[in-house]
Amino acid sequence: MRLHLTATQYAELRTYLFGTPECLAFLFLHQGPGAAPWAVAHTGLARLLDPGDYVHRDRSGVELAEHVRPALIRTAHQHGYAVVEAHAHDWPGPSTRFSPIDLDGLEQLGPHMTWRLPGRPYTALVLGPDSFDALQWHPDGRVTAIEALVVDGEHTAPTGISANHQARITSGNAR
């Protein structure tokens, strides 16, 4: 999958994610007719969380309030959207990846979200200052990196570090 964003959407997402201590944003994606790529449903259809949407939030992680995920699932279900979860790490350089804490949470969340939203992928995105990584849970149970983040036609590939780590976990070689 290629995740398509406008330059404005991408700039707003980065400003939000890098502007405060650890936080999450959610994007709703729609798929065009036929085999068209998944893209952000329309400008502004993102959920940038408010302080009341967190139970806990600091530099090492977040815990969402109980109302957040059901509301996301309800919106996605009603409109046929897929969901992208996004957060940021301040680690500079070309090796952005999910932290072990991120991977532990996503290992359970990814399959749960594809079960709750049948036929749709669930994507987790982590942005760094200079690179990004992404994992995608597919309806058939596969976990892969996405092909690219496409911002106004410019393709950028994920680092792929997390997908390699996820593959080792899935095959039983790690943990």
Report the predicted TM-score, pTM, of the whole model to 2 decimal places: 0.87
Residue-wise pLDDT for 99-140, tens only, equals: 998 999 899 999 999 999 999 999 999 999 999 999 999 999
Q: Are 162 and 97 in contact (CB under 8 A)?
A: yes
**Positive/negative CA dihedral, 43, 46, 48, 50:** positive
Domain ranges of the chain: 2-171
Top CATH class of 2-171 equals alpha beta
The set of residues, in sequence order, having a beta carbon less than 8 Å from that of 97 and lying 6+ positions away, is: 126, 133, 159, 161, 162, 165
For position 45, what pLDDT does the model report? 58
- Comparing CA positions, the residue from 104, 86, 100, 92 lying closest to residue 146 is 86
Residue 91: band (very low, low, confident or very high) from pLDDT cuts 50, 70, 90: confident
For the segment 26-73, what is each residue's pLDDT rounded down to a tens digit? 999 887 666 566 666 654 457 778 888 999 888 777 889 999 999 999
